[in-house]
Amino acid sequence: MSDSRLNEYGQEIGASLPDWTPPRLPSREVTTGRFCDLVPLHTDHADALFDAFAVDADDREWTYLPYGPFASRDDFRTWVAENAVSDERTLFTIHSGTSRRPTGIAGYLRMMPASGSIEVGHLRYCAQLQRTPAATEAMSLMMARAFDLGYRRYEWKCDVFNAPSRRAATRLGFTFEGIFRQATVYKARTRDTAWFSVLDDEWPALRRAFDAWLHPSNFDRHGRQIRRLEDVRNSVGE
């Protein structure tokens, strides 16, 4: 719980923020990392993304997204064209591997500069991207951009039954906050939503953990991690 203070009536109120300035919205610009690049979603990415997703063994990665799977390449092209210019969200294509090919999508949504809150979501990783350093680095880069802009709260939300997403949030250092029951309806079914967050004062230690985990010394000659991210986070927090 946030620190409190007393007002003139002896009531507890939140800590003062005399220097608070709402941050600007994230711009659509390229962010370059060691394992991946975040490139603003563009219609030119549609075919490569469609092909990357088509390699997946089945369509289970679409189950907890409000859209997909797409019946045809043209349907997916239409979705990309509409979402590449959306004012409600800012989506990026994750380009990974030595060839920096499109392998996934991630974005900012529920962008609320006035309260300093922003959510990461619309995560769709192809099989080639899942469980790779690039997948973790993409999330680190997006989190860094948000906090560097001055956001105070970084959110992660998912269907309460989406166990992989809940595990990912915990691994990445998010704190579970609770469940909003019957929060929404999608794909003709109800959704209880699990909420997670990282706060600005938690970010410095988490950033050090990401940097340490992503460092070349943490991977063997086969590219396998030496220390788990959870273990690195725990050691940084000591």
CA angle 92, 115, 107 (to 5 degrees): 10
Residue 2 has pLDDT above 80, yes or no: no
Residue 181 has pLDDT above 80, yes or no: yes
Query: CA 25, CA 146: separation in Å to the nearest integer?
Result: 9
pLDDT mean over 190-217: 97
HEC sequence for the chain: CCCEEECCCCCEEECCCCCCCCCCCCCCCCEECCCEEEEECCHHHHHHHHHHHHCCCCCHHHCCCCCCCCCCHHHHHHHHHHHCCCCCEEEEEEEECCCCEEEEEEEEEEEECCCCEEEEEEEEECCCCCCCHHHHHHHHHHHHHHHHHCCCEEEEEEECCCHHHHHHHHHCCCEEEEEEEEEEEECCEEEEEEEEEEECCCHHHHHHHHHHHHCHHHECCCCCECCCHHHHHHHHCC
pLDDT mean over 195-219: 97
What is residue 1's predicted lDDT score, i.e. its pLDDT? 67
Peptide bond preceding 69: is omega within 30 degrees of 0, i.e. cis? yes
Q: pLDDT tens digits, residue range 88-116?
A: 999 999 999 999 999 999 999 999 999 99
Q: pLDDT tens digits, residue range 113-169?
A: 999 999 999 999 999 999 999 999 999 999 999 999 999 999 999 999 999 999 999
- Structural contact between residues 117 and 155, judged by C-beta atoms closer than 8 angstroms: yes
- Structural contact between residues 61 and 49, judged by C-beta atoms closer than 8 angstroms: no
Query: What structural domains does the chain harbor?
Result: 21-236 (3.40.630.30)
pLDDT averaged over every residue in the chain: 96
Q: pLDDT tens digits, residue range 51-80?
A: 999 999 999 999 999 999 999 999 999 999
Query: CA 122, CA 98: separation in Å to the nearest integer?
Result: 24
What is residue 36's predicted lDDT score, i.e. its pLDDT? 97
